[in-house]
């Protein structure tokens, strides 16, 4: 029983560490890809025409970016921005935005 508890604790620690690393990578991508210019620091936009991302789920962000990248969702600016993102970037951005809850 103690072994199972230790194994669960270790798995949780590893998962949390990976999630934090992905969020940190997402924060770096958020800054370097120019997301901060429209969606604001910490995901809070200061321009009404650009949506704030703080409070959005990671799943919503990943789906939206994937759809912008594929062209399934249309917005000339976001289609161009998402075209330069790979799958890891999209996952990390979703993890970062999710961490802003």
User: Residue 95: which of 28, 11, 19 has the closest Cα?
Assistant: 19
Residues in the chain: 101
Which pLDDT score, from 0 to 100, does residue 16 have?
Answer: 46
Can you give the pLDDT at residue 91?
97
pLDDT given at position 101: 80
Q: Which pLDDT does position 21 carry in this prediction?
A: 58
Q: How is 21-68 classified by DSSP, letter by letter?
A: HHHHHHHHHHHHTTHHHHH-GGG--SSTTS---TT--HHHHHHHHHHH
In the chain (101 residues long), the average pLDDT of successive 10-residue segments reads: 47 47 92 96 95 97 98 98 97 97 80
pLDDT at 1: 57
Range of the domain at 34: 2-99
Positive or negative: CA dihedral 93, 95, 99, 101: positive
What is the domain count for the chain? 1
CA dihedral 85, 90, 96, 101 (to 10 degrees): 130
**Domain CATH for 62:** 1.10.760.10
């Amino acid at each position: 029983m103690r072994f199972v508890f230790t194994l669960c604790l270790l798995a949780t620690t590893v998962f949390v560490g990976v999630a934090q690393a992905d969020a940190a990578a997402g924060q770096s991508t958020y800054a370097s890809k120019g997301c901060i210019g429209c969606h604001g620091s910490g995901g809070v936009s200061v321009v009404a025409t650009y949506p704030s991302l703080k409070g959005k789920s990671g799943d919503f962000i990943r789906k939206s970016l994937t759809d912008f990248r594929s062209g399934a969702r249309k917005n000339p600016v976001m289609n161009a921005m998402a075209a330069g993102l790979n799958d890891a970037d999209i996952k990390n951005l979703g993890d970062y935005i999710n961490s802003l809850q």
